[in-house]
Amino acid sequence: MNKLAKILRSPWTKIAVFALCLVPISLLARPLWMLATTGYSPDLTANPIEYITHYTGTWTIRFLLITLSVTPLRKIFNQPLLARYRRMLGLFAFFYVCLHFLTWFVLDKFFSFPEMWADILKRRYITVGMLGFAMLLPLAVTSTAGWVRRLGFVKWQRLHRLIYFAALAGVIHYYWLVKSDVRLPLMYGAILAILMLYRLAARQLARQPAAPRPVTTPNTASLPD
Amino acid sequence: MLIRKSSDLRNSDVTPKPLYVNRRRFLTGSIALGAFGALAGTSRGAKIEDFKKTSYNAGDEKVTPLEAITHYNNFYEFGTDKEDPAKNATNFRTSPWTLKVEGAVAKPMAFDRDSLMKIAPLEERIYRHRCVEAWSIVVPWIGFPLNALLKQVEPTSKAKYVAFESYYDPKQMPLARWGGIQFPYVEGLRLDEAMHPLALLAVGLYGEALPNQDGAPIRLVLPWKYGFKSAKSLVKIRLVEKQPPTTWNLSAPNEYGFYSNVNPGVDHPRWSQAKERRLGELFRRNTLMFNGYSEVASLYAGMDLHKNF
């Protein structure tokens, strides 16, 4: 356990996780280069813009779910140091959603605000997707230690619970987008449900002080979830 | 006149050049080989040598590379990802095959794998193909007009509609169960639509027998309608009195109508139909009414196309 704590505390681990989070985007580099030089890359399909839009969207949902699994993992395995990685993972979710949005806005809408607004108002999957994106904006901005101080921890924590709704918006966005094969959106929805149910259960248990069970360590109870 | 508004249709300089050059070379080769050759075998990828060119040519359009046409498919029997059919249809058995034409006809007929290619003289027609998902391609089909077949079976006065059924075998198509739609895939047309000279039964593309993932051995091609109307791998054509059920309409009636004519003015509830992405192009281009095939407009004279979408 001590060994694990040492690893989690190491700056190298942080660098490694950072590099790992860049793997999905870097996997696009070679196919994009091939597309640029030969005009076609089988990895990006015959519709590379759609492929990249879906790819960055999928990774946004995955990073949101990874971020949301930090707290349960931290509590279940009693590894408080895992919390050190949560901000970075959340910011990577934001990074991928920005790429997702820009692919759509630049290559699909060609910077047309009127067209974008029309879509946001008219198409529910875009409405809910944009809502999720909008919820992630303040979270990215207030992700610094300075903002935690400025807002005060309780307020900051409350604000950052928006990620639950952003993840839900992401899953609904995906569910509404697919035509008929809903397996993948349902799978992400199920993972999100498990992560949320864990939180609910943990909260219920924490509210029963009389319950004869080992008390969770105080420092984990005070951390935001 | 096939290609209208050419000014709207050009600006497509992004077609992958190597593939385009390949195609040139390939076409030159096939023309040199073809012309008087007898019909070759009909297995997948076999060259079709006896077909005539038509006025349905590319005009200003760039034909979509074969690689894109064969690796970007909606064929839910073989999986719902665009790349799935190319991977999963490779062992699809299209021989032996039987296409039955029956129902309200004086002369019901059945065609086996070889006779499919001899129903009528084969011709090449280069058509735009517009998917309801707002992407499009340009395909050099080989086939014959649907009406050539329908005339042979002699529809009776009761024949008002034509129902189409695609092949379905859960053993060969195990992924179909995840498609979220009913199988076998069924489609339908009004008889006058089916008799329109544009309606094609395709048995090949790019000078070859249809690749499995594109609907081997025989499929519908209705260039003025969204792609899903062009049912693949047909086993039954039935002339009927009442409007037949159609698969996507059964799945989501508010999203997919019976007619499903390409119409930039009527949006799909979840996306706009005003524009489309031609595969190989960076930015979207405007979608044309009836996909540019204005000659079909008279079929729908007096109809409210917002209601009959």
Contact call for A180 and B16, based on CB within 8 A: no
The pLDDT of residue B5 is 43
Judge whether B14 is closer than 8 Å to chain A, CB to CB. yes
* Beta strand pairing call for B200-205 and B123-130: unpaired
Domain range for B249 is 6-297
Q: Is A70 exposed, middle or buried (0-12, 13-18, 19+ CB in 10 A)?
A: buried
Q: Give contacts of A 117-136 with B, CB under 8 A.
A: 118-119, 122-125
The pLDDT of residue B92 is 96
- What CA–CA distance (Å, rounded) separates B260 from B266? 10
Q: In chain B, which residues have their Cβ closer than 8 Å to the Cβ of A46?
A: 64-65, 67-68, 71-72, 82, 279-280
The answer to the question of residue B81 being in a domain is yes
Q: Mutate which of A32, A34, A40, A127 to test chain B, going by most B C-beta atoms within 10 A?
A: A40
For chain A, the helix, strand and coil percentages under 3-state DSSP, each to the nearest 5: 80, 0, 20
Contact call for A122 and B267, based on CB within 8 A: yes
Domain count, chain B: 1
Q: Mutate which of A44, A116, A181, A183 to test chain B, going by most B C-beta atoms within 10 A?
A: A181
The answer to the question of residue B307 being in a domain is no
The pLDDT of residue B306 is 93
State which residue of chain B sits closest to A40, comparing Cα positions: B16
Whole-Å CA distances, B94 to A119, B67, B185, B201, B215: 43, 21, 17, 16, 10
The pLDDT of residue A206 is 87
Confidence of residue A211 (pLDDT cuts 50, 70, 90): low
Condensed to tens digits (0 to 9), the pLDDT of residues A34-62 reads 999 998 899 999 999 999 999 999 999 99
Judge whether B80 is closer than 8 Å to chain A, CB to CB. yes
- What CA–CA distance (Å, rounded) separates A46 from B86? 12
Condensed to tens digits (0 to 9), the pLDDT of residues A69-115 reads 999 999 999 999 999 999 999 999 999 999 999 999 998 888 899 98
Own/partner long-range contacts of A126-129 (Cβ < 8 Å, ≥24 apart)? A126/A173, A128/A169, A128/A172, A128/A173, A128/A176, A129/A169, A129/A170, A129/A173
* Beta strand pairing call for B52-53 and B123-130: parallel
The answer to the question of residue B107 being in a domain is yes
CA distance B280 to chain A (A): 7
Q: Give contacts of A 22-41 with B, CB under 8 A.
A: 38-40
* CATH number of B216's domain: 3.90.420.10
∠ CA A46-A63-A128, rounded to 5°: 75
Inter-chain CB pairs, A–B, below 8 Å: 72
Work out the mean pLDDT of chain A and round it to a whole number: 91
Judge whether B12 is closer than 8 Å to chain A, CB to CB. no
CA distance B18 to chain A (A): 7
Residue B291 · residue B264 · CB < 8 Å: no
| 3 state DSSP class of A169 | helix
The pLDDT of residue B90 is 94
Judge whether A175 is closer than 8 Å to chain B, CB to CB. no
Q: In chain B, which residues have their Cβ closer than 8 Å to the Cβ of A42?
A: 67, 71
- What CA–CA distance (Å, rounded) separates B150 from B171? 31
Q: Mutate which of B63, B270, B275, B283 to test chain A, going by most A C-beta atoms within 10 A?
A: B270
Contact call for B67 and A177, based on CB within 8 A: no
For A6, the token pair is: 């040492």
The answer to the question of residue B216 being in a domain is yes
- What CA–CA distance (Å, rounded) separates B189 from B196? 11
Beta strands in chain A (DSSP E): none
Own/partner long-range contacts of A21-28 (Cβ < 8 Å, ≥24 apart)? A21/A63, A21/A88, A21/A89, A21/A92, A24/A55, A24/A59, A24/A96, A25/A59, A25/A96, A25/A99, A28/A52, A28/A55
Judge whether A13 is closer than 8 Å to chain B, CB to CB. no
| 3 state DSSP class of B212 | helix
Q: In chain A, which residues have their Cβ closer than 8 Å to the Cβ of B72?
A: 45-47
The answer to the question of residue B308 being in a domain is no
Residue B238 · residue B194 · CB < 8 Å: no
The pLDDT of residue B46 is 87
Which regions of chain B are under pLDDT 50? 1-18, 20-44
Amino acid (1-letter code) at residue A130 = M
- Would you tell me how many other CB atoms lie within 10 Å of the CB of residue B70? 20
Contact call for B71 and A45, based on CB within 8 A: yes
Element (H, E) at B138: strand B135-145
